[in-house]
Amino acid sequence: MREVGIGIAGFGTVGGGVLSILQRHAHDIQARLGARIVVKRVVLRDAGKSRPVEVPAALVSTRLEDLLEDPAVEVVVELIGGVDQAFDLVAGALARKKHVVTANKALLAARGDEIFRLARQNGVDVYYEAAVCGGVPIIRTLRESLASDRINSLMGIVNGTTNFILTAMAERGEAIGPVLAEAQRLGYAEADPTLDVSGGDAAQKLCVLAQLAFGSRLKPEEVLTEGIMGLSPDDFVWGREFGYTLKLLAVARRCGAPGTPGAEQIEARVHPAFIPQASLLAGVRGAMNAVVLRSEALGASMLYGQGAGAMPTGSAVVSDIIDLTRNILSGSPGRVPLPPEEALVRLRGHAEIRCAYYLHFSVKDEPGVLARIAATLAARSISVAAVQQREQPDAAAPVPLVFVTHEAREADVRAAIAEIDRHPSTLEPTRLIRIETV
């Protein structure tokens, strides 16, 4: 029986899951493939560290170059994370005509273009299912299952850490500080959670997804990105009054000049958003991930599952290894083409984004304030869908006044807020949360 040799770089959470699955499911995988996947080498940094999954000592190395130099390694599985060393490893593998599987969204978001070009030049494959939403097969869905369709929008909960935090805040009414500490204690958040809570991780993932869905070529710094640290328990209380729950969403959608080649644009943004409590994404609790796609032929569809962890993520990596092995066995690398070099759509400026808004004003309790705010919004064509005011027992305290708007242009909303915040009767900066009807 034909053997396909693989080398695993990185033996942490995901690397351990990959080896476990390859060992536990070896028989089934062999039956499905008609070939054996053989791990030739496992590279890690600290050979003395104790690990939950054991590796046969003969396979262990601390030199990444071993994977490149060993001719028996046909597929390099990059699971070390980070950008620079991972890029050198992946580029070295592709240059030697070895196929690559990676789970590394940071690498793909920063240097995906170079990696895909190298793969094309060398006639080899790069698979990266685990890079977005862990075990949820969103990449394969976009590359293969919906290849017939035209996707108009994607909207997802793609970061389990922030979804865990927001779910706990919504359900227990707690502030973000203690909930983040709990997430760290339970292993849902890193010791340094910045990349997650800032929305940066979700922006990297959105770049990877939008490239497949729309043919964009975005860098994470181009995505409008707002994190969750500014959210307060009060935002959840207000949201509930309007029938909403609060999620960190990654959103990309087509807008402007539909169907006109070269003139099409997409919005790309990551930010906390109110969504209807009855929507599918509102039911995505805890550390779970989900993506809702809207495409012309299929309509709305949703993928849901575990976005992280050794076994879910390991299963996505092993599925990639199996797919790649099928290409090797059938002599058809590049069977599923990588995203095109040319961008098919441009990014719409963030000022032109259109959605509905929740605007929370803190104002003096005096006559005419509500009418003045309404007039300022109306002067910029911002139409109001609902208004709520909360009685304050203390007459000197700021009165919270909440407006929910119909769809409006971001630049107009920002300009109206700036004008309202300059007025002496506004006591605190206005809070803005976008609303998505998923």
Ligand X SMILES: NC(=O)c1ccc[n+]([C@@H]2O[C@H](COP(=O)([O-])OP(=O)(O)OC[C@H]3O[C@@H](n4cnc5c(N)ncnc54)[C@H](OP(=O)(O)O)[C@@H]3O)[C@@H](O)[C@H]2O)c1
Tell me, what DSSP letter sits at residue 141?
Answer: I
Q: Is 402 in the site for ligand X (CB under 6 A)?
A: no
Nearer to ligand X, 10 or 400 (CB): 10
Q: Tell whether residue 81 is a contact of ligand X (CB under 6 A).
A: yes
Q: H or E stretch including 295?
A: strand 288-295
Applying CB under 6 A, does 319 fall inside the site for ligand X? no
Q: Which of 8, 39, 103, 176 binds ligand X (CB under 6 A)?
A: 103
Pick one of 37, 79, 126, 165: the residue that binds ligand X (CB under 6 A). 79
What 3-state class would DSSP assign to 275? strand
Question: Contact with ligand X (CB under 6 A): which of 45, 97, 172, 390?
Answer: 45
3-state secondary structure of 355: strand
Cβ neighbours around 332 below 10 Å, total: 11
63/406 with CB nearer ligand X: 63
Task: Provide the sign of the torsion angle of the four alpha carbons 409, 413, 419, 422, taken in this order.
Answer: negative
The kind and range of the H/E element at 20 are helix 13-24
Q: Of 90-98, 139-147, 266-274, 307-315, which segment contacts ligand X by CB under 6 A?
A: 307-315
User: Tokens 């060398």 belong to which residue?
Assistant: 122
Task: Tell me the C-alpha distance between 404 and 414, whole Å.
Answer: 14
Interaction of residue 84 with ligand X, rule CB under 6 A:
no
The SS3 call for residue 417 is helix
**Cross-strand bridge partners of residue 363:** 399, 426
Q: How far is the CB of 102 from ligand X (least distance, A)?
A: 7
Q: How far apart are CA 321 and CA 22, in angstroms?
A: 10
For residue 393, the number of C-alpha atoms closer than 13 Å in the C-beta half-sphere is 0
> Terminus-to-terminus CA distance in the chain, angstroms?
49
Residue of 205, 219, 247, 364 with catalytic role: 205
Does residue 14 belong to the site contacting ligand X (CB under 6 A)? yes
Which C-beta is closer to ligand X: that of 314 or that of 400?
A: 314
User: What is the DSSP secondary structure assignment for residue 250, as one 8-state letter?
Assistant: E
Binding segment for ligand X (CB under 6 A), chosen from 5-13, 177-185, 192-200, 288-296, is: 5-13
Q: Does 308 bind ligand X (CB under 6 A)?
A: yes
Tell me, yes or no, if 40 is annotated catalytic. no
Contact flag: residue 44 with ligand X (CB under 6 A): yes
CA distances (Å), origin 180, targets 118, 290, 336: 40, 21, 40
Residue 298 CB partners (closer than 8 Å, separation 6+): 146, 149
Which residue number, 55 or 356, has a Cβ lying nearer to ligand X?
A: 55
Q: Which stretch binds ligand X (CB under 6 A): 12-20, 261-269, 278-286, 382-390?
A: 12-20
Residue 305 in contact with ligand X, rule: CB under 6 A: no
**How many CB atoms lie under 10 A from the CB of residue 412?**
18
The Cβ of residue 56 has, within 10 Å, a number of other Cβ atoms equal to 9
Q: Which listed residue (6, 18, 29, 80) binds ligand X by CB under 6 A?
A: 80
Residues 205-234 that bind ligand X (CB under 6 A): none
Cβ 46 to ligand X shortest distance, Å = 4
Q: Which residue has the tokens 């050198």?
A: 88
Least separation in angstroms between residue 11's CB and ligand X is 4
The token duo for 433 is: 């949360």
Q: How many residues bind ligand X (CB under 6 A)?
A: 23
- Binding residue for ligand X, selected from 20, 161, 295, 313, defined by CB under 6 A: 313
Nearer to ligand X, 103 or 322 (CB): 103
Residue 130 engages ligand X in binding (rule: CB under 6 A): yes
At how many degrees (to 10) do helices 160-172 and 233-241 cross? 70
Smallest distance, ligand X to C-beta of residue 286, A: 14
Binding of residue 288 to ligand X (CB under 6 A): no
- Is residue 170 close enough to count as binding ligand X by CB under 6 A? no
Task: List residues binding ligand X (CB under 6 A).
Answer: 10-15, 43-46, 49, 64, 79-81, 85, 103-104, 130, 134, 308-309, 313
Residues assigned a catalytic role: 205
